[in-house]
Amino acid sequence: MSETEFLEGNAELVFNLALRLTGNRADAEDLSQDALLRALKALPGFRGHSQVSTWVYRITVNAWKNRVRSEKRRHFWKTVTLGLVGGDDGEEVRDVKADDPPPDADLEKEEKAKMVQQSLLELDEDDRAIVVLREIEEKSYGEIGAVLGLAEGTVKSRLFRARAKLKGLLEGSGKQP
């Protein structure tokens, strides 16, 4: 596989995961670049014991965890700007049709998404990674285990606890979606 083919096949996948983990476009772009560079350097050593996507997910999650640990050591946490992925300015552009739901329905859906994203960002990195991989990226327990280096049963139990924490955060702050 050439570097160009590798990048074309994985850049969007890495960026989407990075965006879910970091919560904002600028950090996601930085993380994506870092993860893709790490993956390209390691590509000659890829043995094919897993799917390329699983391997790239693992590199991305590990790069993100390293950044989080580094930020914690420096006692530096940025305020996360929330928003939906869309155009350059974060706005989603679409045509309005007669049978579209009313604009306030979209606003309510957007507000719920922001509340969930904010609560997700309050989880520790291990819990956030497992919830993002399962609920947003829709990975199987086996794939998550491969990405995080965990047994399938451990993935299930940690996911259960992470979901409970997320639910508690949503309920505790009146952010019920």
Specify the pLDDT at position 85: 37
Q: CA 67 to CA 77: how far, in whole Å?
A: 11
| pLDDT reading at 84 higher than 70 | no
Q: CA 28 to CA 1: how far, in whole Å?
A: 25
Q: How long a stretch of residues is the chain?
A: 177
Residue 158 contacts residue 131 (beta carbons within 8 Å): no
**Number of Cβ atoms within 10 Å of the Cβ of 131:** 21
Helices 103-122 and 152-172 cross at an angle (nearest 10°) of 120
Q: CA 153 to CA 47: how far, in whole Å?
A: 25
Instruction: Name which of 20-29, 39-48, 49-58, 87-96 the model is least confident about.
Output: 87-96
| Domain ranges for the chain | 3-172
Report if pTM > 0.85.
no
Residue 32 contacts residue 11 (beta carbons within 8 Å): yes
| pLDDT reading at 93 higher than 70 | no
Which fold would CATH assign to domain 3-172? Butyryl-CoA Dehydrogenase, subunit A; domain 3 (1.20.140)
Residue 173 contacts residue 116 (beta carbons within 8 Å): no
